[in-house]
Amino acid sequence: MADTGIGASVRRKEDFRFLTGRGTYTDDINRPNQAHAYFLRSPHAHAKIKSIDVAAAKKAPGVVSILTGADIVADKVGSLICGWVVKDKQGNPHKAPAHPPLAKDTVRYVGDHVAVVIAETLPQARDAAELIKVDYQVLPAVVDPARALDPGAAQVHAEAPKNLCYDWEIGDKAATEAAFKSAHHVTKLDLINNRLIPNAMEPRAAIGEYDPAYESYTCYSTSQNPHVLRLILCAFVLGVPEHKMRVVAPDVGGGFGSKIYCYAEETVCTWAARKVGRPVKWTAERGESFLSDAHGRDHVTHAELAMDKDGKFLGLKVDTIANMGSYLSTFATCVPTYLYATLLAGQYTTPAIYCEVKAVFTTTAPVDAYRGAGRPEAAYLIERLVETAARELKIDPAELRRRNFIKPHQFPYQTPVALQYDSGNYERTLDEALKLIDYKGFPARKAESAKRGKLRGIGLSAYVEACGIAPSAVVGSLGAGVGLWESGHIRFDPTGSVRIFTGSHSHGQGHETTNAQIVSDLLGVPIDKIEVVHGDTDRVPFGMGTYGSRSAAVGGSAIFKAADKIIAKGKKIAAHLLEAAEQDIEHAHGVFKVKGTDKQKTIGEIAFAAYVPHNYPAGLEPGLDETAFYDPANFTYPAGVHIGEVEIDRDTGVVTVVNWAAVDDFGTVINPMVVEGQVHGGIAQGIGQALLENAVYDKETGQLLTGSFMDYCMPRADDLPSFKIGMTHTPCPHNPLGVKGCGEAGAIAAPPALMNAVTDALGVRHMEMPASPARVWQVLQKTAKAAE
């Protein structure tokens, strides 16, 4: 089974479907008698709605219905919720102002939902929307998180004075202060983690449908977690019993976090479907995605690192302001707290850490988890700080890291910021990366670049992250409104084919292949006899979906546990068929054998016996169909070292990434090719953040200035070098597969490595991301002037 089992680079089963255009995405689905929704959005960042006049629009051709905030109020539709309650320094819950799916009396960002026009066709809905007269009283905007707390800043919500959502802390403040008092050297850095717009290839879409015969709803949605969407829609927003709601997330073209959340659009389509008695469909235009998908990052931070004379880290102090945007998105509050500050130890033994985070409201789109979610912000801060410290202390940056690494014998390692790292070997990973990039050869390469008039720089990043967020009891104690386990269900058919039902959801990650590999390996089923089913609440057991690189570690483990149950039952059946004692049956890869004999039954024979139980153990249930729920004991802790090399054109400021080595420790790897693909994509997005991407709102008007690909710069293939990928394997000790998670690593590792390389090449202490040509040129101008 080695060719299709765990560890094999099996070609992705789903790719033929996707590459030949045979995928079924939400927008490909059309329901009988379907109407189309167009959302009228706020053109202002902040305004009171004095009145909405829909009279002329209602008379427009094809209009079925026009709904506004008044209808939301009349129907008692609930607020969109934030599912994670963060408590502030005093133990008070965060401020969570109401977030109506259609604005009631105030709009708070450009793109906020004012009304929905439902018509026979989309063009008719758009035409009618132009006839809606909204009288706005424009209010001042505030877009910069660093300015949101200023006296006199525009107030976004009356419920959140000074725009403060929470003022939170973690770590031992006194111990940290004491560490700084004894320090030989302190490195200080102010940095901004730039705001990003996720831009999944497939824009968000939804179809709401209501069946009066069964009084039940169906919501087709581009969701990363259909069950959680169902839970939120039913229990919090629409007040529908869960058994009367089906959520289907069919093929989904990328999410990167932005499709975790319960948004206004699918809520309104589902609600409106019953009101108008017809299925209601909406598909975002790219411009709507820019305006209204939850954005990522947007931190402003001051950090200080205290060291002794040998460069040993003594303490770390961090002060961060995090932008929440206008309303709290579904998991917004946990991102700059439990997914960020808890990672501030990085790969190092820093004994004392203290971090304060102020989350603020602004008149911008909601901000939530985006590939990495908090961990990129932590890694960027730590690794920029460590690199800067190395330069200040004139210690080789690799050496400074080495001196401070948590050593293999120290695992499990309790950090001063709550997490207990389970396993790792940071030094070995560093050594591999240094070898892969030929670190020793860098000075010669730099000299060669200089000959061509180019500035060359090298930068390291040694990151650790936390994936498969769990266990449920712990996340519950930290404020999560949900559990974070996963379900796995293996169903054999009488002829031996298998369906795997998983509560995780694939939107590009290749689960149809990797989950099948787990079962193919454990149960010896040929991979083409296995189908993976996900994304339909009526078909799969309740599950928590896919985000935070959890699908293999948590979802894969649930499938493993279900396979265990299949094997246990299979042994009983085999013992009966082989006329042996159950304890004498040994199982490996789908073959049940009587110990020490050549008597055996295959899983196919077992499955047939289970469904045609003519000769069958007395008292044993027929069928071969098992479900397991898996709640992990801890997070997993993937870690790695990325090293980037850049060349800078002094005349134009263009940064070219010329060399990249990535060595990651993801524990056990199910499909190396799929994992490499995830690493490639992650690095591309990380390089995107560091070099190209930047979401910019106008400071005065609050208009999104980067509202299209004309101005928002996505990474393209020719922006990237050919990556050198390496891996080390320290298996996760607490899940049965030993896997750690790989989906976000590249996006976490890349920005600091790249900015360390850029600042190295430029010979400057710091510059903000993205290192665009114009910005780099400005830095070059300044350094040239300073040199004069």
Which residues contact another protein by CB under 8 A? 123, 126-127, 287, 651-653, 692, 694, 696, 705-706, 709-714, 772-774, 777-778
Of 256 and 712, CB closest to another protein: 712
**Distance between CA atoms of residues 282 and 259, nearest Å:** 15
> Minimum distance between the CB of residue 696 and another protein, rounded to whole angstroms?
6
Q: Which residues contact 469 (CB under 8 A, 6 or more apart)?
A: 339, 475, 484, 548, 550, 635
Residue 209: how many other CB atoms lie within 10 Å: 24
Of 287 and 721, CB closest to another protein: 287
Of 19 and 705, CB closest to another protein: 705
- Of 657, 724, 661, 651, nearest to 452 by C-alpha is 651
**Distance between CA atoms of residues 638 and 425, nearest Å:** 10
Of 262 and 771, CB closest to another protein: 771
Of 473 and 714, CB closest to another protein: 714
> Minimum distance between the CB of residue 199 and another protein, rounded to whole angstroms?
12
Q: Strands 133-138, 47-53: parallel, antiparallel or unpaired by DSSP?
A: antiparallel
Of 327 and 697, CB closest to another protein: 697
Residue 517: how many other CB atoms lie within 10 Å: 25
- Of 761, 535, 556, nearest to 653 by C-alpha is 761
What's the token pair of residue 454? 């180019």
> Minimum distance between the CB of residue 124 and another protein, rounded to whole angstroms?
11
> Minimum distance between the CB of residue 644 and another protein, rounded to whole angstroms?
18
**8 A C-beta contact, residue 81 and residue 236:** yes
Of 310 and 698, CB closest to another protein: 698
> Minimum distance between the CB of residue 411 and another protein, rounded to whole angstroms?
42
Output the 3-class SS for 36-81.
EEEEEECCCCCEEEEEEECHHHHCCCCEEEEEEHHHHHHCCCCCCC
- Of 364, 368, 359, nearest to 156 by C-alpha is 364
Of 211 and 719, CB closest to another protein: 719
- Of 339, 338, 298, nearest to 321 by C-alpha is 298
**Distance between CA atoms of residues 695 and 295, nearest Å:** 9
- Of 581, 619, 617, nearest to 599 by C-alpha is 581
> Minimum distance between the CB of residue 774 and another protein, rounded to whole angstroms?
4
**Distance between CA atoms of residues 204 and 253, nearest Å:** 9
Q: What dihedral angle (degrees, nearest 10) is formed by the CA atoms of 620, 624, 630, 636?
A: 130
> Minimum distance between the CB of residue 720 and another protein, rounded to whole angstroms?
14
| Identity of the amino acid at 752 | P
Residue 23: how many other CB atoms lie within 10 Å: 15
**Distance between CA atoms of residues 222 and 204, nearest Å:** 6
Within 13 Å and on the Cβ side, how many CA atoms surround 206? 29
> Minimum distance between the CB of residue 28 and another protein, rounded to whole angstroms?
21
> Minimum distance between the CB of residue 716 and another protein, rounded to whole angstroms?
9
> Minimum distance between the CB of residue 713 and another protein, rounded to whole angstroms?
4
Of 7 and 287, CB closest to another protein: 287
Of 120 and 319, CB closest to another protein: 120
What's the token pair of residue 187? 């490195």
> Minimum distance between the CB of residue 719 and another protein, rounded to whole angstroms?
8
Of 16 and 709, CB closest to another protein: 709
